Structure 1
């Protein structure tokens, strides 16, 4: 392996693997040319788990057959990737070498925790999700033959993972000679968090009472932090503040018991996973290092409540953005009602609401339908039934299958507005392929098409949602809104991947999209430097990202979320990191405003959407 010399295979292991060599050695022993080793010496020379794991992320014995590797079973998984973990009870004392290993059996294992076993198999490096995804590999034994030596043995003591054990630095950087990969670097578990976790791969570990920073999801997993003081949010999460502040204390927790036998607990952000949680340390494609709990603590609720923003004053215009997660008429009425109630109760019925992920009238059915009239009718009726205003709406139907998202769904943005408070300026001619322009009218800027799409022919919007522009009037003042849903982060490499820093390939398209919107805003400000412009929606990128920087290039826009304290800047929770994806940016003429990220979904196991809505109030 490049950069790290492979450990020599112990001679006893070579003797076992090669019948020809074994025969020659037997003859030599008989002739007195070799001295037979004692049984204890032979056992000492045998391949052990730490020999297989080695001091880097890749096994020095990858691809080789090993025989009679000893250890005690510490956990059994009978679903998903079926197999078991076992651990050597005679560690080598090197903190860089793990003493635990996963054995992939493919079918349900017959061993139990506490069985002392000897395993023969092939050493493999399995990359969860495939090599193209950028994940680290999991060292394991495949095609195993297992011998149970005894049962009922005590398990190896669990390695404690806590704030003192996990280093504050997240990862070393990958070397340029290795293409940015950290695979060949010798592990430094006292220096880097990823090295610390890797040095425990497959071993029995435990955590004590820990704060939940990622709510229970539909796949029966949650996230905790073992570092209570690491960038906490006021509501109990852990805030992601930069590309070099990855939050080292985060750890995913699953359970080994089948859900039918032991339902996974429901937890919200800020709750506590109390007591002892113990089991093997796994690595998977959906979160990296994961505690596969053989013993799971209890969730203690901290009673997190959904936020409510204040109502706008008479002279304030309230503008909001909300990703409603693939809403279509095929969804149960309960989803429409819950989303509508949130608009009325939690968002205080904003004057204008930009919606993302409105699907066509038959959702994922792929039959050429592009209209979303039924989707929007049902949603606005649900708002009225919840006590809200009789919202009107404007949108533009996309070309079938041209805007990405769920296949057949034809998602798009839409404007809802309260005609009792604000008026929409209709300028006909906008459609899926026609770009709206900017003209000067009565001493100010105006759109040529309202609603209209922003530069839909730009390659930046290929297979992605095109921005929707609209012209509104509030108390005699024009306000321009551009509703967005930028390209997703799909395809980016994970934080815990083997390339460090990870490759963020999806940024390329978002940067181009940001430049397109920035150019359009500059046209508005060129026609009227005092134009009041709000660019809002699911930007799918952070407030510190290059995407946000490109949106504001030239000083034409500033992110309103920066008006919040750092610990309150988030609209989404991903792998235990509370982070910004949804944004509202304002032009210089919007001088005084109040901004609120209204936390009603992302921190909860019970979600109506995976995004939190954003509200901005100002006096035009």
Structure 2
């Protein structure tokens, strides 16, 4: 599963062409000078019964079809569909015609298209996604206009198989491209068999909120792996939730605003249009007719305040916060700390940028960023938090170039004490020592094993020694390497490769080793490891963190329907975790759902909090 936070062009303004030219991210497979033309073919002949056209690289002449959709933004062109299907469920009767410029046809036109057959890989062939069969460089003849459109294929739980994808061909590197489509058995095959055709959904639950890129996710298989709040839970590598479908609109936003939707809403009425594919979500219904969003009434959560004898430790990814952000962002994040998280005693922050954000001028300090944030918390009625952190080396911790993101501790000095042991810097590791028979850190705050190659171009863990009601608690704040570079769930390679996992495994092993050192110095050491782990509760990363019984993931204390901190392409999933050492026997853990399910977000992650009596 890829949860990479990929930058992408604005789909309503960017011109994504079908040919590989400078600045465009895509790959088109086609011979520039085919030896012969393929005459008398129909769309199903071009599409064939696998993912790659049997006519790729050939020129086709006078392919008949009815125009079913016209796209005037992004990858410009139009879809045609043959009103005379061949009767095979494996061969699509629709296809995209790439024009590059503004199309001159209209929906309902009966056309004849001549051009070059190719396979276009949105995002580039190397990303591992699937291809879109298309005709490019077209010559188009309009035979007549105003014709009735072919009937839409209705997608619902009966139409879409429960199984997600076939296993790839081991002799073809695990690819499914050349396997014969089995649309009655696999959801990805069913979608592919409808590529370019008009499909329709009705009264579909929203499982992924609308985004700034004018898209939202629905499911056509309701009540499958439900979350407690109406989403679709990603529960294992074999539970991909095949009913997920991205929705966009063919109508430019300037003409028709895209609806705002939250998880738990319903896209009511009929939504219909051509079935497309792109790298940012896979199969996409590009709506010629878009239903209306009916609110499900979802509201942000809040957790209960900690009791006098409970220590509350929270983690919050504040999504690239820096001193130059608008006051509104500071105020919203601060309100979440005070109202939603009930002013925890300790807050581990991820994605605190340096004071000038992505301006790459060597600045690494984040004092102004943290001053503005703690001021906003105090103004919201919260405590006057103090902070501790370590500035990274310039350009060495990953994230947005120039941003120098890092982990930081906030703590309420009225409730908890921080044990300062000076000398920590970006490259010096804090070590575990013993003082009066108890574990202690040589540096507090200090970084955990920062020279380990597992942390190359990634955030280093920040360790701190805290005292609450006379008891020492060690807290380790984390932001593991992202999933960038992983193949998507809808990849043409099945199962998809998770190449980024190797680095997180090394990071998890380093943190696990540090916790074991603490427990070796003091068997009943109370340790909280938390933050943006960028991996699932069922992942190998989590197994490496918990190896040898050093830690347990608090996520597993929650009901399954509440286990998610992030929503990616319609899948509600765990990326943020809190783990505790065995000495913390009883605790109450809460993921506070305030962001990930909503179109209007202060951050893309939900925060988490754990309460216990040290």
Q: Is 1:207 matched with 2:238?
A: no
Deviations 1:268-299 (A, max 9, x none): 00000000000000000100000000000000
Determine if contact 1:518/1:550 at 8 Å carries over to the other structure: yes
The residue aligned with 2:396 is: 402
Residue equivalent to 2:610: 616
Shift of residue 120, structure 1, vs aligned partner:
0.2
The answer for the alignment partner of 2:183 in structure 1 is 189
Residue in 1 that maps onto 2:13 = none
Residue 73 of structure 2: aligned partner? 79
Partner Cα separation in structure 1 for residue 156 and residue 129 of structure 2: 24
Q: 2:62 aligns with which of 60, 68, 77?
A: 68
SS in 1 for 2:122: coil
- Whether 1:309 aligns to 2:303 is yes
Q: Which residue is equivalent to 2:365?
A: 371
Q: Paired residue for 1:465, among 459, 469, 472?
A: 459
The offset of 1:246, in angstroms, is 0.1
- Aligned partners of 2:325 and 2:55: how far apart in 1? 52
Q: Does residue 146 of structure 1 match 2:140? A: yes
Aligned ranges 1:253-264 → 2 under 5 Å: 253-264=247-258
Shift of 1:46: 1.7
- Alignment partner, residue 177 of structure 1: 171
Q: Secondary structure at the match of 1:223?
A: strand
Match of 1:231 in 2: 225
Q: Tell me the residue number matched to 1:5.
A: none
Aligned to 1:219: 213
CA distance in 2, matches of 1:54, 1:17: 17
Partners in 2 of 1:405 and 1:183 — Cα distance?
Answer: 34
Select which of 344, 348, 362 maps to 1:354: 348
Q: Residue 131 in 1 paired to residue 106 in 2?
A: no
Counterpart-to-counterpart distance in 2, 1:561 and 1:75: 45
Alpha-carbon contact 2:37-2:58 (below 8 Å) kept: no
1:3 aligned residue: none
Deviation, 1:17, is: 3.3
Distance, in Å, in 1 between the alignment partners of 2:314 and 2:178 is: 48
Q: Which residue of 2 aligns with 1:57?
A: 51
Q: Tell me the residue number matched to 1:9.
A: none
Instruction: Report what 1:118 is aligned to.
Output: 112
Aligned ranges 1:330-345 → 2 under 5 Å: 330-345=324-339
Give the whole-Å Cα distance in 2 for the aligned partners of 1:313 and 1:162: 48
TM-score with structure 1 length normalisation?
Answer: 0.93
- After TM superposition, where is structure 1 displaced by more than 2 Å over at least 4 residues in a row? 14-18
Measured against aligned partners, the alpha-carbon deviations of 1:436-478 in whole angstroms (never above 9, x if no partner) come to: 0000112210000000000000000011000000000000100
Paired residue secondary structure (2:259): coil
Superposition map of 1:248-287 within 5 A? 248-287=242-281
TM-score scaled by length of structure 2: 0.94
Q: Please state whether the residue corresponding to 1:487 is helix, strand or coil.
A: coil
Measure, in 2, the Cα distance between the counterparts of 1:78 and 1:461.
44
- Contact kept in structure 2, 1:127 and 1:135, CA below 8 Å: yes
1:577 paired to 2:592: no
Shift of 1:16: 9.0
Q: 1:229, CA displacement in angstroms?
A: 1.5
Is the radius of gyration larger for structure 1 or structure 2? 1
1-structure distance, mates of 2:35, 2:485: 46
In the alignment, what sits opposite 2:4? none
Deviation string 1:189-232 (CA, Å, 9 cap, x unpaired) is: 00000000000000000000010000000000000011112011
C-alpha distance in 2 between matches for 1:581 and 1:347? 18
Structure 1 vs Structure 2 CA RMSD:
1.1
* Residue matched to 2:3: none
Q: Distance in 2 between matches of 1:505 and 1:148?
A: 48
Q: How many Å apart are 1:302 and its aligned residue?
A: 1.3
- Choose which of 457, 478, 484 in structure 2 pairs with 1:484: 478
Q: 1:340: how far off?
A: 0.2
Deviations 1:456-514 (A, max 9, x none): 00000011000000000000100000000000001000000100000100001000000
Offset, 1:15: 13
Matched, 1:17 2:16: no
| Partner secondary structure for residue 50 of structure 1 | helix
Gaps of 5+ in 2: 1-33
